[in-house]
Amino acid sequence: MGAERTESVERALSILTAFSIRRPRMTLAELAAETGLHKSTILRLTRSLAVYGFIDRDTEGRFSVGASIWHLGLIFRQDFDTGETIRPVLRELVQLTGETASFFVRAGSDRVCLYRENSPILEKYGVEEGMRLRLGTGASGLVLRRYSGEVLPDLTPFNANGTVSLDATRNPNIASISTPVFSSTGAFRGALTVSGLNSRFTASVRDRFLADVEASARKLGQQMG
Amino acid sequence: MGAERTESVERALSILTAFSIRRPRMTLAELAAETGLHKSTILRLTRSLAVYGFIDRDTEGRFSVGASIWHLGLIFRQDFDTGETIRPVLRELVQLTGETASFFVRAGSDRVCLYRENSPILEKYGVEEGMRLRLGTGASGLVLRRYSGEVLPDLTPFNANGTVSLDATRNPNIASISTPVFSSTGAFRGALTVSGLNSRFTASVRDRFLADVEASARKLGQQMG
DNA sequence: CCATGGCGTTCTCTCAGGCGAAACGATGCT
DNA sequence: AGCATCGTTTCGCCTGAGAGAACGCCATGG
Protein backbone atom coordinates (compact mmCIF):
# COMPACT_ATOMS: atom_id res chain seq x y z
CA MET A 1 0.00 0.00 0.00
CA GLY A 2 1.21 3.48 -0.77
CA ALA A 3 2.48 5.51 2.11
CA GLU A 4 -0.15 7.61 3.79
CA ARG A 5 2.29 10.32 4.54
CA THR A 6 5.77 11.43 3.65
CA GLU A 7 8.47 10.84 6.16
CA SER A 8 11.11 13.21 4.91
CA VAL A 9 8.63 16.04 4.68
CA GLU A 10 7.60 15.55 8.26
CA ARG A 11 11.21 15.50 9.32
CA ALA A 12 11.82 18.76 7.54
CA LEU A 13 8.81 20.26 9.25
CA SER A 14 10.00 18.99 12.60
CA ILE A 15 13.17 20.95 11.97
CA LEU A 16 11.16 24.09 11.40
CA THR A 17 9.01 23.58 14.46
CA ALA A 18 12.12 23.06 16.56
CA PHE A 19 12.60 26.81 16.54
CA SER A 20 10.89 28.86 19.19
CA ILE A 21 10.72 32.39 20.46
CA ARG A 22 13.30 31.46 23.04
CA ARG A 23 15.56 29.72 20.55
CA PRO A 24 15.26 31.42 17.21
CA ARG A 25 18.76 30.42 16.11
CA MET A 26 20.36 27.02 16.45
CA THR A 27 23.53 25.27 15.43
CA LEU A 28 23.52 21.98 13.59
CA ALA A 29 24.29 20.07 16.76
CA GLU A 30 21.51 21.82 18.66
CA LEU A 31 19.03 21.05 15.93
CA ALA A 32 20.13 17.43 15.92
CA ALA A 33 19.63 17.20 19.66
CA GLU A 34 16.28 18.95 19.47
CA THR A 35 14.84 16.92 16.62
CA GLY A 36 16.58 13.62 17.20
CA LEU A 37 17.61 13.52 13.55
CA HIS A 38 21.04 12.67 12.28
CA LYS A 39 23.22 15.58 11.42
CA SER A 40 23.64 14.44 7.87
CA THR A 41 19.90 14.24 7.51
CA ILE A 42 19.45 17.74 8.85
CA LEU A 43 22.04 19.05 6.45
CA ARG A 44 20.26 17.48 3.52
CA LEU A 45 16.83 18.66 4.58
CA THR A 46 17.91 22.17 5.47
CA ARG A 47 19.55 22.55 2.10
CA SER A 48 16.17 22.09 0.51
CA LEU A 49 14.49 24.29 3.08
CA ALA A 50 17.03 26.99 2.34
CA VAL A 51 16.48 26.82 -1.39
CA TYR A 52 12.89 27.81 -0.79
CA GLY A 53 13.79 30.44 1.77
CA PHE A 54 12.20 28.60 4.67
CA ILE A 55 15.42 28.49 6.58
CA ASP A 56 18.46 30.72 6.70
CA ARG A 57 21.97 30.10 7.78
CA ASP A 58 24.24 32.80 9.08
CA THR A 59 27.98 33.07 8.59
CA GLU A 60 28.65 31.11 11.77
CA GLY A 61 26.54 28.27 10.46
CA ARG A 62 23.59 28.82 12.73
CA PHE A 63 20.13 28.17 11.38
CA SER A 64 17.13 30.43 11.66
CA VAL A 65 13.67 30.72 10.20
CA GLY A 66 13.61 32.16 6.68
CA ALA A 67 11.69 34.99 5.15
CA SER A 68 9.43 32.77 3.06
CA ILE A 69 7.73 31.86 6.29
CA TRP A 70 6.96 35.46 6.98
CA HIS A 71 5.50 35.92 3.55
CA LEU A 72 3.32 32.86 3.95
CA GLY A 73 2.32 34.02 7.39
CA LEU A 74 0.84 37.15 5.91
CA ILE A 75 -1.10 35.06 3.43
CA PHE A 76 -2.42 32.99 6.28
CA ARG A 77 -3.46 36.01 8.25
CA GLN A 78 -5.16 37.82 5.43
CA ASP A 79 -7.03 34.68 4.43
CA PHE A 80 -8.00 33.71 7.93
CA ASP A 81 -8.79 37.05 9.39
CA THR A 82 -7.01 40.34 9.28
CA GLY A 83 -7.80 40.93 12.91
CA GLU A 84 -10.36 43.56 12.01
CA THR A 85 -13.09 41.08 12.76
CA ILE A 86 -11.84 39.23 15.78
CA ARG A 87 -10.16 41.95 17.74
CA PRO A 88 -13.24 44.12 18.35
CA VAL A 89 -15.13 41.09 19.58
CA LEU A 90 -12.33 40.27 21.98
CA ARG A 91 -12.26 43.81 23.27
CA GLU A 92 -15.96 43.79 23.84
CA LEU A 93 -15.66 40.55 25.71
CA VAL A 94 -12.97 42.02 27.91
CA GLN A 95 -15.25 44.96 28.66
CA LEU A 96 -18.15 42.69 29.51
CA THR A 97 -16.24 40.31 31.73
CA GLY A 98 -13.20 42.20 32.92
CA GLU A 99 -11.20 39.08 32.11
CA THR A 100 -8.79 38.16 29.35
CA ALA A 101 -10.16 37.07 25.98
CA SER A 102 -8.29 35.03 23.39
CA PHE A 103 -8.87 33.34 20.08
CA PHE A 104 -7.14 30.02 19.43
CA VAL A 105 -6.81 27.88 16.35
CA ARG A 106 -5.42 24.45 15.93
CA ALA A 107 -2.05 23.81 14.32
CA GLY A 108 -1.33 20.11 14.17
CA SER A 109 -1.23 18.83 17.71
CA ASP A 110 -0.78 22.30 19.10
CA ARG A 111 -2.88 25.36 19.51
CA VAL A 112 -1.83 28.83 18.49
CA CYS A 113 -3.09 32.00 20.10
CA LEU A 114 -3.95 34.17 17.11
CA TYR A 115 -5.37 37.10 19.02
CA ARG A 116 -5.53 38.12 22.61
CA GLU A 117 -6.86 41.06 24.56
CA ASN A 118 -5.62 41.14 28.10
CA SER A 119 -7.74 41.95 31.08
CA PRO A 120 -7.06 45.48 32.29
CA ILE A 121 -6.88 44.38 35.89
CA LEU A 122 -4.83 41.25 35.50
CA GLU A 123 -1.20 41.15 34.62
CA LYS A 124 -0.23 38.82 31.80
CA TYR A 125 0.32 35.24 32.71
CA GLY A 126 2.43 33.78 30.03
CA VAL A 127 0.27 33.49 26.95
CA GLU A 128 0.89 35.95 24.17
CA GLU A 129 -0.27 36.38 20.61
CA GLY A 130 1.43 33.92 18.34
CA MET A 131 2.24 31.57 21.18
CA ARG A 132 2.05 27.89 20.58
CA LEU A 133 0.86 25.49 23.26
CA ARG A 134 0.00 21.85 23.40
CA LEU A 135 -3.68 21.15 22.84
CA GLY A 136 -3.80 19.47 26.20
CA THR A 137 -6.92 19.13 28.24
CA GLY A 138 -7.73 22.79 28.84
CA ALA A 139 -11.02 24.32 27.79
CA SER A 140 -9.79 25.67 24.46
CA GLY A 141 -7.83 22.51 23.79
CA LEU A 142 -10.91 20.39 24.19
CA VAL A 143 -12.94 22.65 21.94
CA LEU A 144 -10.28 22.66 19.25
CA ARG A 145 -9.90 18.91 19.35
CA ARG A 146 -13.57 18.16 19.22
CA TYR A 147 -14.47 20.51 16.39
CA SER A 148 -11.45 19.84 14.25
CA GLY A 149 -12.69 16.32 13.83
CA GLU A 150 -11.17 14.38 16.69
CA VAL A 151 -13.31 11.78 18.36
CA LEU A 152 -13.16 12.44 22.08
CA PRO A 153 -13.85 9.62 24.53
CA ASP A 154 -15.58 11.91 26.98
CA LEU A 155 -17.96 14.69 26.03
CA THR A 156 -19.21 15.52 29.50
CA PRO A 157 -17.22 18.77 29.78
CA PHE A 158 -19.19 20.19 26.84
CA ASN A 159 -22.56 21.85 27.19
CA ALA A 160 -25.19 21.81 24.44
CA ASN A 161 -23.47 24.65 22.59
CA GLY A 162 -20.12 22.94 22.66
CA THR A 163 -18.79 25.23 25.35
CA VAL A 164 -16.32 24.00 27.94
CA SER A 165 -15.83 25.63 31.32
CA LEU A 166 -12.91 24.45 33.40
CA ASP A 167 -10.82 25.28 36.42
CA ALA A 168 -7.11 25.11 36.84
CA THR A 169 -5.89 23.45 33.66
CA ARG A 170 -2.73 24.86 32.24
CA ASN A 171 -2.18 27.12 35.18
CA PRO A 172 -3.49 25.98 38.59
CA ASN A 173 -4.92 29.40 39.36
CA ILE A 174 -6.56 30.03 36.04
CA ALA A 175 -10.10 29.15 35.06
CA SER A 176 -11.25 29.35 31.47
CA ILE A 177 -14.37 29.13 29.37
CA SER A 178 -14.02 28.27 25.71
CA THR A 179 -16.57 27.94 22.95
CA PRO A 180 -16.34 27.02 19.29
CA VAL A 181 -16.75 29.64 16.57
CA PHE A 182 -18.46 28.55 13.38
CA SER A 183 -18.55 30.65 10.25
CA SER A 184 -21.82 31.46 8.58
CA THR A 185 -21.27 28.45 6.35
CA GLY A 186 -20.99 26.23 9.40
CA ALA A 187 -17.25 25.66 9.20
CA PHE A 188 -15.31 25.54 12.45
CA ARG A 189 -12.94 28.48 12.69
CA GLY A 190 -11.48 28.38 16.18
CA ALA A 191 -12.00 28.64 19.90
CA LEU A 192 -13.06 31.81 21.66
CA THR A 193 -11.89 31.79 25.23
CA VAL A 194 -12.22 33.87 28.36
CA SER A 195 -9.84 33.19 31.19
CA GLY A 196 -8.80 34.64 34.48
CA LEU A 197 -8.01 33.94 38.10
CA ASN A 198 -10.33 31.19 39.26
CA SER A 199 -11.00 33.00 42.51
CA ARG A 200 -13.20 35.32 40.49
CA PHE A 201 -15.01 32.56 38.61
CA THR A 202 -17.79 31.86 41.09
CA ALA A 203 -20.79 29.84 39.96
CA SER A 204 -22.99 32.81 39.13
CA VAL A 205 -20.21 34.76 37.48
CA ARG A 206 -19.28 31.73 35.49
CA ASP A 207 -22.82 31.44 34.15
CA ARG A 208 -22.80 35.05 33.06
CA PHE A 209 -19.39 34.74 31.42
CA LEU A 210 -20.48 31.60 29.65
CA ALA A 211 -23.44 33.38 28.14
CA ASP A 212 -21.24 36.30 27.15
CA VAL A 213 -18.70 34.10 25.45
CA GLU A 214 -21.34 32.14 23.57
CA ALA A 215 -23.05 35.32 22.42
CA SER A 216 -19.75 36.78 21.23
CA ALA A 217 -18.91 33.57 19.42
CA ARG A 218 -22.22 33.63 17.58
CA LYS A 219 -21.71 37.24 16.60
CA LEU A 220 -18.15 36.56 15.50
CA GLY A 221 -19.22 33.56 13.46
CA GLN A 222 -21.73 35.65 11.53
CA GLN A 223 -18.96 37.98 10.46
CA MET A 224 -16.60 35.23 9.34
CA GLY A 225 -17.36 34.29 5.75
CA MET B 1 27.34 10.31 -3.65
CA GLY B 2 24.51 11.13 -1.30
CA ALA B 3 21.77 13.38 -2.55
CA GLU B 4 22.52 17.04 -2.04
CA ARG B 5 18.92 17.89 -1.43
CA THR B 6 15.63 16.24 -0.71
CA GLU B 7 13.16 16.04 -3.51
CA SER B 8 9.98 15.36 -1.59
CA VAL B 9 10.67 18.18 0.81
CA GLU B 10 11.10 20.62 -2.03
CA ARG B 11 7.87 19.41 -3.56
CA ALA B 12 6.08 19.98 -0.31
CA LEU B 13 7.54 23.46 -0.10
CA SER B 14 6.52 24.18 -3.67
CA ILE B 15 2.99 23.37 -2.60
CA LEU B 16 3.21 25.92 0.18
CA THR B 17 4.70 28.59 -2.04
CA ALA B 18 1.93 28.03 -4.57
CA PHE B 19 -0.37 30.04 -2.32
CA SER B 20 -0.45 33.79 -2.72
CA ILE B 21 -2.33 36.78 -1.47
CA ARG B 22 -4.52 36.53 -4.51
CA ARG B 23 -5.08 32.81 -4.14
CA PRO B 24 -5.04 31.92 -0.48
CA ARG B 25 -7.27 28.88 -0.96
CA MET B 26 -6.94 26.25 -3.65
CA THR B 27 -8.54 22.97 -4.58
CA LEU B 28 -6.54 19.84 -5.21
CA ALA B 29 -6.83 20.28 -8.96
CA GLU B 30 -5.73 23.89 -8.78
CA LEU B 31 -2.74 22.96 -6.68
CA ALA B 32 -1.85 20.23 -9.13
CA ALA B 33 -2.03 22.66 -12.02
CA GLU B 34 -0.05 25.28 -10.14
CA THR B 35 2.74 23.00 -8.96
CA GLY B 36 2.81 20.47 -11.77
CA LEU B 37 2.69 17.65 -9.25
CA HIS B 38 0.46 14.61 -9.50
CA LYS B 39 -2.67 14.73 -7.46
CA SER B 40 -1.76 11.64 -5.53
CA THR B 41 1.58 13.20 -4.67
CA ILE B 42 -0.07 16.36 -3.44
CA LEU B 43 -2.46 14.36 -1.33
CA ARG B 44 0.39 12.48 0.27
CA LEU B 45 2.49 15.55 0.90
CA THR B 46 -0.35 17.70 2.17
CA ARG B 47 -1.28 15.02 4.65
CA SER B 48 2.11 15.46 6.24
CA LEU B 49 1.92 19.22 5.99
CA ALA B 50 -1.44 19.11 7.72
CA VAL B 51 -0.16 16.97 10.58
CA TYR B 52 2.26 19.75 11.41
CA GLY B 53 -0.33 22.46 10.93
CA PHE B 54 1.38 23.96 7.90
CA ILE B 55 -1.66 23.47 5.75
CA ASP B 56 -5.37 23.36 6.45
CA ARG B 57 -8.22 21.91 4.55
CA ASP B 58 -11.75 23.21 4.80
CA THR B 59 -14.93 21.19 4.61
CA GLU B 60 -15.12 21.65 0.84
CA GLY B 61 -11.65 20.19 0.49
CA ARG B 62 -9.88 23.41 -0.32
CA PHE B 63 -6.38 23.88 0.98
CA SER B 64 -5.05 26.93 2.75
CA VAL B 65 -1.99 27.93 4.72
CA GLY B 66 -2.00 26.65 8.30
CA ALA B 67 -1.50 28.38 11.59
CA SER B 68 1.93 26.88 12.23
CA ILE B 69 3.20 29.17 9.54
CA TRP B 70 1.90 32.17 11.40
CA HIS B 71 3.56 31.06 14.57
CA LEU B 72 6.87 30.54 12.80
CA GLY B 73 6.47 33.88 11.09
CA LEU B 74 6.42 35.59 14.45
CA ILE B 75 9.58 33.76 15.42
CA PHE B 76 11.18 34.96 12.22
CA ARG B 77 10.15 38.51 12.81
CA GLN B 78 11.22 38.68 16.41
CA ASP B 79 14.57 37.14 15.56
CA PHE B 80 15.20 39.21 12.48
CA ASP B 81 13.86 42.52 13.53
CA THR B 82 10.71 43.58 15.24
CA GLY B 83 10.45 46.59 13.00
CA GLU B 84 11.42 48.89 15.84
CA THR B 85 14.83 49.26 14.29
CA ILE B 86 14.13 49.37 10.61
CA ARG B 87 10.97 51.39 10.45
CA PRO B 88 12.34 54.62 11.92
CA VAL B 89 15.24 54.50 9.50
CA LEU B 90 12.84 54.07 6.61
CA ARG B 91 10.74 56.97 7.78
CA GLU B 92 13.76 59.17 8.06
CA LEU B 93 14.79 58.21 4.58
CA VAL B 94 11.35 59.11 3.26
CA GLN B 95 11.63 62.49 4.94
CA LEU B 96 15.07 63.11 3.47
CA THR B 97 14.24 62.07 -0.06
CA GLY B 98 10.50 62.41 -0.40
CA GLU B 99 10.54 59.02 -2.09
CA THR B 100 9.50 55.54 -1.01
CA ALA B 101 11.85 53.49 1.16
CA SER B 102 11.82 49.72 1.53
CA PHE B 103 13.78 46.96 3.13
CA PHE B 104 14.14 43.67 1.25
CA VAL B 105 15.52 40.30 2.23
CA ARG B 106 16.14 37.26 0.16
CA ALA B 107 13.96 34.17 0.35
CA GLY B 108 15.27 31.50 -1.97
CA SER B 109 15.12 32.86 -5.49
CA ASP B 110 12.72 35.58 -4.48
CA ARG B 111 12.87 38.75 -2.48
CA VAL B 112 10.43 39.69 0.22
CA CYS B 113 9.59 43.24 1.18
CA LEU B 114 9.79 43.16 4.95
CA TYR B 115 9.14 46.83 5.57
CA ARG B 116 8.08 49.74 3.48
CA GLU B 117 7.34 53.38 4.05
CA ASN B 118 5.59 55.01 1.14
CA SER B 119 6.38 58.40 -0.22
CA PRO B 120 3.79 60.92 0.90
CA ILE B 121 3.49 62.41 -2.57
CA LEU B 122 3.36 59.22 -4.58
CA GLU B 123 0.54 56.77 -4.61
CA LYS B 124 1.43 53.14 -4.13
CA TYR B 125 2.63 51.27 -7.14
CA GLY B 126 2.11 47.65 -6.41
CA VAL B 127 4.68 46.67 -3.83
CA GLU B 128 3.46 46.17 -0.29
CA GLU B 129 4.89 44.81 2.92
CA GLY B 130 5.13 41.06 2.81
CA MET B 131 5.10 40.97 -0.95
CA ARG B 132 7.22 38.45 -2.70
CA LEU B 133 8.92 39.25 -5.99
CA ARG B 134 11.46 37.57 -8.19
CA LEU B 135 15.01 38.64 -7.47
CA GLY B 136 15.34 39.74 -11.05
CA THR B 137 17.76 42.38 -12.21
CA GLY B 138 16.47 45.37 -10.26
CA ALA B 139 18.67 47.30 -7.88
CA SER B 140 17.58 45.47 -4.74
CA GLY B 141 17.64 42.13 -6.55
CA LEU B 142 21.25 42.66 -7.57
CA VAL B 143 22.25 43.67 -4.06
CA LEU B 144 20.52 40.68 -2.53
CA ARG B 145 22.07 38.28 -4.98
CA ARG B 146 25.57 39.58 -4.62
CA TYR B 147 25.66 39.72 -0.84
CA SER B 148 23.89 36.47 -0.20
CA GLY B 149 26.77 34.71 -1.83
CA GLU B 150 25.94 34.53 -5.50
CA VAL B 151 28.74 35.07 -7.96
CA LEU B 152 27.55 37.68 -10.41
CA PRO B 153 29.10 37.83 -13.87
CA ASP B 154 28.94 41.61 -14.01
CA LEU B 155 29.69 43.89 -11.09
CA THR B 156 29.69 47.18 -13.01
CA PRO B 157 26.30 48.31 -11.57
CA PHE B 158 27.83 48.36 -8.09
CA ASN B 159 29.76 51.26 -6.68
CA ALA B 160 32.52 50.88 -4.10
CA ASN B 161 30.00 50.59 -1.28
CA GLY B 162 28.02 47.90 -3.03
CA THR B 163 25.22 50.27 -3.94
CA VAL B 164 23.28 49.89 -7.17
CA SER B 165 21.40 52.71 -8.84
CA LEU B 166 19.13 51.80 -11.72
CA ASP B 167 16.37 53.11 -13.93
CA ALA B 168 13.26 51.38 -15.09
CA THR B 169 13.68 47.83 -13.91
CA ARG B 170 10.55 46.20 -12.57
CA ASN B 171 8.40 49.12 -13.57
CA PRO B 172 9.45 51.19 -16.61
CA ASN B 173 8.76 54.46 -14.81
CA ILE B 174 10.45 53.62 -11.56
CA ALA B 175 14.06 54.26 -10.65
CA SER B 176 15.62 52.76 -7.56
CA ILE B 177 18.75 52.90 -5.47
CA SER B 178 19.61 49.95 -3.28
CA THR B 179 22.44 49.32 -0.88
CA PRO B 180 23.40 46.38 1.32
CA VAL B 181 22.95 46.52 5.08
CA PHE B 182 25.56 44.76 7.18
CA SER B 183 25.17 44.14 10.88
CA SER B 184 27.85 45.27 13.29
CA THR B 185 29.34 41.78 13.03
CA GLY B 186 29.63 42.17 9.27
CA ALA B 187 26.79 39.82 8.35
CA PHE B 188 24.61 40.77 5.44
CA ARG B 189 21.08 41.51 6.58
CA GLY B 190 19.20 42.84 3.58
CA ALA B 191 18.82 45.57 0.99
CA LEU B 192 17.78 49.11 1.82
CA THR B 193 16.12 50.71 -1.17
CA VAL B 194 14.76 54.07 -2.23
CA SER B 195 12.55 54.18 -5.27
CA GLY B 196 10.32 56.58 -7.10
CA LEU B 197 9.30 57.98 -10.45
CA ASN B 198 12.42 58.19 -12.56
CA SER B 199 11.45 61.63 -13.81
CA ARG B 200 12.53 62.92 -10.43
CA PHE B 201 15.79 60.99 -10.32
CA THR B 202 18.01 63.50 -12.12
CA ALA B 203 21.76 63.08 -11.92
CA SER B 204 22.29 65.48 -9.04
CA VAL B 205 19.27 64.26 -7.11
CA ARG B 206 20.41 60.72 -7.60
CA ASP B 207 23.79 61.50 -6.09
CA ARG B 208 22.15 63.01 -3.05
CA PHE B 209 19.77 60.09 -2.62
CA LEU B 210 22.59 57.62 -2.98
CA ALA B 211 24.50 59.31 -0.18
CA ASP B 212 21.35 59.35 1.95
CA VAL B 213 20.66 55.67 1.42
CA GLU B 214 24.22 54.66 2.16
CA ALA B 215 24.27 56.74 5.32
CA SER B 216 20.99 55.24 6.48
CA ALA B 217 22.25 51.75 5.74
CA ARG B 218 25.35 52.31 7.82
CA LYS B 219 23.30 53.64 10.69
CA LEU B 220 20.85 50.77 10.43
CA GLY B 221 23.64 48.23 10.35
CA GLN B 222 25.07 49.58 13.60
CA GLN B 223 21.77 48.91 15.30
CA MET B 224 21.40 45.38 14.01
CA GLY B 225 23.15 42.88 16.26
C1' DC C 1 53.35 19.69 21.18
C1' DC C 2 50.03 16.48 20.36
C1' DA C 3 45.87 14.51 22.57
C1' DT C 4 41.00 15.13 22.95
C1' DG C 5 36.53 16.43 22.01
C1' DG C 6 33.08 19.03 19.63
C1' DC C 7 31.74 20.68 15.43
C1' DG C 8 30.26 20.63 10.46
C1' DT C 9 30.75 18.06 6.27
C1' DT C 10 31.16 14.19 3.00
C1' DC C 11 30.82 9.44 1.49
C1' DT C 12 28.80 4.99 0.54
C1' DC C 13 25.79 1.14 0.88
C1' DT C 14 21.32 -0.52 1.42
C1' DC C 15 16.56 -0.95 1.45
C1' DA C 16 12.57 1.50 2.87
C1' DG C 17 9.51 4.39 1.07
C1' DG C 18 8.31 7.86 -2.38
C1' DC C 19 6.62 8.06 -7.08
C1' DG C 20 3.15 8.08 -10.62
C1' DA C 21 -0.01 5.42 -13.64
C1' DA C 22 -4.27 3.91 -13.51
C1' DA C 23 -8.52 2.66 -11.71
C1' DC C 24 -12.35 4.06 -8.91
C1' DG C 25 -16.34 6.60 -7.05
C1' DA C 26 -18.76 10.79 -6.50
C1' DT C 27 -20.70 14.83 -8.16
C1' DG C 28 -22.37 18.10 -11.42
C1' DC C 29 -23.37 19.92 -16.00
C1' DT C 30 -25.80 19.56 -20.72
C1' DA D 1 -28.12 9.14 -20.01
C1' DG D 2 -23.51 10.72 -21.11
C1' DC D 3 -19.57 13.30 -20.38
C1' DA D 4 -16.49 15.96 -17.67
C1' DT D 5 -14.30 17.15 -13.50
C1' DC D 6 -12.89 16.28 -9.14
C1' DG D 7 -11.04 13.80 -5.16
C1' DT D 8 -9.47 9.38 -3.49
C1' DT D 9 -7.27 4.85 -3.40
C1' DT D 10 -4.36 1.24 -4.92
C1' DC D 11 -0.08 -0.94 -6.13
C1' DG D 12 4.26 -2.36 -8.24
C1' DC D 13 8.72 -0.41 -9.53
C1' DC D 14 12.89 1.65 -8.57
C1' DT D 15 14.82 5.80 -7.10
C1' DG D 16 16.45 8.40 -3.68
C1' DA D 17 16.42 9.09 1.31
C1' DG D 18 18.65 7.49 5.56
C1' DA D 19 22.16 5.66 8.89
C1' DG D 20 26.47 5.69 10.29
C1' DA D 21 31.03 6.21 9.99
C1' DA D 22 34.88 8.62 8.38
C1' DC D 23 36.98 12.93 7.59
C1' DG D 24 38.80 17.59 8.38
C1' DC D 25 38.77 21.52 11.17
C1' DC D 26 39.14 24.18 14.90
C1' DA D 27 39.38 24.91 19.72
C1' DT D 28 41.04 23.76 24.44
C1' DG D 29 44.21 21.98 27.66
C1' DG D 30 47.22 18.72 29.66
pLDDT band at residue B4, thresholds of 50, 70 and 90? confident
The torsion angles phi and psi of B145, rounded to 5 degrees, stand at -65, -45
pLDDT-above-70 percentage for chain A: 96
Chain A residues with CB-CB distance to B185 below 8 A: 59
Query: Is B170 within the bounds of a domain?
Result: yes
Residue B58 sits in the same domain as residue B112 = no
Query: Does residue A24 surpass a pLDDT of 70?
Result: yes
Q: Which nucleotides of C are covered by protein (CB under 7 A)?
A: 6-13, 17-22
Query: Does residue B2 surpass a pLDDT of 60?
Result: no
Each residue's pLDDT tens digit, B180-191? 999 888 889 999
Residue A55 sits in the same domain as residue A92 = no
**How remote is the C-alpha of A97 from its chain's centroid?**
22
Query: Does residue A122 surpass a pLDDT of 70?
Result: no
Residue A144 sits in the same domain as residue A185 = yes
Query: Does residue A3 surpass a pLDDT of 60?
Result: no
User: Distance from residue A4 (CA) to nucleotide C28 (C1'), in Å?
Assistant: 29
CB-strand contact A43/C, under 7 Å: yes
Lowest mean pLDDT among A214-223, B3-12, B26-35, B192-201: B3-12
> Alpha-carbon distance B67 to A76, whole Å?
7
Q: A residues 156-195 near B, CB within 8 Å?
A: 185-187
Query: Is B1 within the bounds of a domain?
Result: no
Count of domains forming chain B: 2
Query: Is B51 within the bounds of a domain?
Result: yes
Residue B143 sits in the same domain as residue B65 = no
Nearest CA to the C1' of C6 belongs to which residue? A29
Query: Is B216 within the bounds of a domain?
Result: yes
Sign of CA dihedral B27, B33, B38, B41: negative
CB–CB contact A19 B58 (8 Å)? no
More confident residue, B66 or A5: B66
Final residue in a domain of this structure, among B71, B99, B121: B71
Query: Is A2 within the bounds of a domain?
Result: no
- From residue B120, alpha-carbon distances to B31, B98, B99, B197, B213 in Å are 39, 7, 8, 13, 18
- Quick one: average pLDDT of A34-49? 90
User: Residue A150 belongs to a domain with what CATH number?
Assistant: 3.30.450.40
CB-strand contact B149/C, under 7 Å: no
**B30 interfaces chain A, CB cutoff of 8 Å:** no
CB-strand contact B177/C, under 7 Å: no
Determine the residue among B9, B11, B26 to mutate to test chain A binding: the one whose Cβ has the most chain A Cβ atoms within 10 Å: B9
Residue B133 sits in the same domain as residue B164 = yes
Final residue in a domain of this structure, among B71, B91, B115: B71
Are residues B196 and B99 in contact, defined by beta-carbon separation less than 8 angstroms?
yes
CB–CB contact A53 B8 (8 Å)? no
What does the pLDDT read at residue B127?
Answer: 80
What does the pLDDT read at residue A150?
Answer: 87
Kind plus residue range of the DSSP H or E element containing B214 = helix B203-223
Q: Which range of residues forms the domain containing residue B63? A: 7-71
Strand D nearby residues, CB < 7 A: A 1-2, 7-8, 11, 37-41, 44-45; B 2-3, 5-8, 27-29, 32, 39-40, 43, 61-62
> Alpha-carbon distance B97 to B86, whole Å?
17
Query: Is B112 within the bounds of a domain?
Result: yes
CB-strand contact B27/C, under 7 Å: no
Query: Does residue B147 surpass a pLDDT of 50?
Result: yes
Residue B60 sits in the same domain as residue B136 = no
Residue B114 sits in the same domain as residue B210 = yes
> Alpha-carbon distance A218 to A23, whole Å?
38
More confident residue, B124 or A60: A60
Each residue's pLDDT tens digit, A139-182? 999 999 999 888 889 999 999 999 999 987 777 888 999 999 99
Each residue's pLDDT tens digit, A48-69? 999 999 999 988 889 999 999 9
Residue B149 sits in the same domain as residue B205 = yes
HSE (CB half, 13 Å, CA atoms) of A223? 16
Residue B181 sits in the same domain as residue B157 = yes
Final residue in a domain of this structure, among A71, A100, A126: A71
CB–CB contact B19 A53 (8 Å)? no
> Alpha-carbon distance B25 to A106, whole Å?
18
Residue A135 sits in the same domain as residue A210 = yes
Per DSSP, B200 falls in state G
- Mean pLDDT, chain B, integer: 90
Measured CA angle at A61 (ends A56, A65), to 5 deg? 25
Residue B199 sits in the same domain as residue B132 = yes
